[in-house]
Structure 1
Amino acid sequence: MAEQGKELKIFTTAQVKEHNTKSSVWIIIHNDIYDVTSFLNEHPGGEEVLIEQAGQEATEAFEDVGHSSDARAMMEQYKIGTLVDSERKPDLPKKSDPEWKESSGSSDVSWKSWIVPIAFGFVATVIYRLYFMS
C-alpha cells in the first residue's frame, strides 16, 4: 500500500501482468498501478470483477461502472505505483457524478413531447364521438 509522502514505484505492463492470480491482484487504472489483493473480500461488486481485471488495464471497466467519489478516494490507499512513461495511454476522462440540472433547452423539449400525445388523444376522442354519436 502506498503511504503518504512515499515515492511511488514505476512499473511496466509486463510487471503488472505477472500479478493476475487471486493471491496477487494488480490492476492499471488511469495509468496508475493498484494492488487490490487485500481488498478482494471487501469489494462491494464481489472479488470476481477484480480478479477478472487482474494484471491488466482496467480503466474502461472501472469507469463504466460509475464509481462514487468515495470509492475513488478509497482506492488511493491501494496505489503502489504508476506506468513507465513509454507505456502510458492517453487518460480517459473520469466520469463524474451525474448532474440533474436541466438546461433551458431540455425543458422545452420535454414540454413539446406532450403535445403530440395530447393532440392524438383529442383527435381520437372527436372521431370516436362523431362516429358513434351519429
Structure 2
Amino acid sequence: MSTKVYTLEEVAKHNSKDDCWIILDGKVYNVTKFLEEHPGGDDVLLSSAGKDATDNFEGVPHSTLARTMTDDYLLGDIDESTLPAKTTYVPPKQANCNQDKTPSFIIKFLQVLVPLAILGLAVAARIYTKSESA
C-alpha cells in the first residue's frame, strides 16, 4: 500500500480550526474532527497546526489509547527533506566562576561555614530576644 507523501508547504496551508493538519514523527494527520474532543482543548492542537508537533506531543504524557487513536487521522508521510534541520542547543561559554584561583577546598569550606554562621546568629538573636522579654 503506497502512502501519500506531503511537503511541509502543503501541510502549512492547513492551519485553522476548520482545517487542521499536524505532523507527528514524520507522519501527517488531519486532526480537524478531533479538535473538540482533545482533552487539553483545541488551542493545544491549533498552536501546532500546519507544523511539526512531535516535540509538543512527546512533551506531554499520552496514553497508549491516545497514541493508537492517531491512526484514525493519518493522511500520509511528510517529505523529510522539506522539514527544517533540527538544531541542538549549545550553551554559551561562560567565564570560570573561580577567576581568582581560590583553592576549591576553601570555597567548599565557606559554602558550609557561611550558612552555619547565619544559622548561629539567628539562634543567638532568638535567644537574646527571649531573654530580653523575660
Q: Which 5+ residue runs of structure 2 have no aligned equivalent?
A: 86-134
- What's the TM-score, normalizing by structure 2? 0.59
When Rg is computed on C-alpha atoms for both structures, the one with the higher figure is: 2
Counterpart amino acid of 1:73?
Answer: T
What residue in structure 2 maps to residue 20 of structure 1? 15
Question: C-alpha separation between the residues in 1 aligned to 2:84 and 2:69?
Answer: 23
Gaps of 5+ in 1: 1-5, 91-134
Shift in CA distance, 86/24, structure 1 to aligned 2, threshold 3 Å? same
Percent identity of equivalent pairs: 42
Check if 1:38 corresponds to 2:20. Answer: no
- Deviation of 1:7 (Å): 3.8
Length, aligned pairs only: 86
Distance across 1 between alignment mates of 2:3 and 2:72 = 12
Given the two structures, how large is their TM-score scaled by the length of structure 1? 0.59
* Distance change (3 Å), C-alpha of 1:51 and 1:70: same
> How has the CA–CA distance of structure 1 residues 23 and 67 changed in structure 2, closer, same or farther, with 3 Å as cutoff?
same
Answer whether contact 2:26 2:80 (CA < 8 A) is retained: no
Q: How much is the aligned-residue C-alpha RMSD, in angstroms?
A: 2.0
